[in-house]
Amino acid sequence: MTLLITDTRNGKRYTGGYNPKYFGLDQLCIDAGLSDKLVYCDIECLLTGGTIWYMLDECGNWAYLPDYYKVEVIKYGKF
């Protein structure tokens, strides 16, 4: 399973898994304006506490993902 994240304002898509059709979490960090809080090239994962998603970097820093990003959980084989 992996995550597919969509910017609902412009349709740009990102993924936490490898897929050349989508941007990675490092670019998501920059585009979401979180690179002043996180080490964008060392994004570890996206986490959720229910309905709110946040990004975690390798150093343990975290920041909320803006609410205009839609996060979908994709099962392998459907990606």
Average pLDDT over residues 27-51: 91
* Distance separating alpha carbons of residues 49 and 52, to the nearest angstrom: 6
> Could you give the percent of the chain with pLDDT greater than 90?
66
Average pLDDT over residues 13-41: 92
* Distance separating alpha carbons of residues 40 and 63, to the nearest angstrom: 11
What pLDDT does residue 79 have? 52
Domain boundaries, the chain: 2-74
What pLDDT does residue 18 have? 82
Average pLDDT over residues 25-51: 91
* Distance separating alpha carbons of residues 47 and 61, to the nearest angstrom: 12
Place of tokens 């941007």: 23
Beta carbons within 10 angstroms of residue 73's beta carbon:
9
Model-level pTM?
0.87
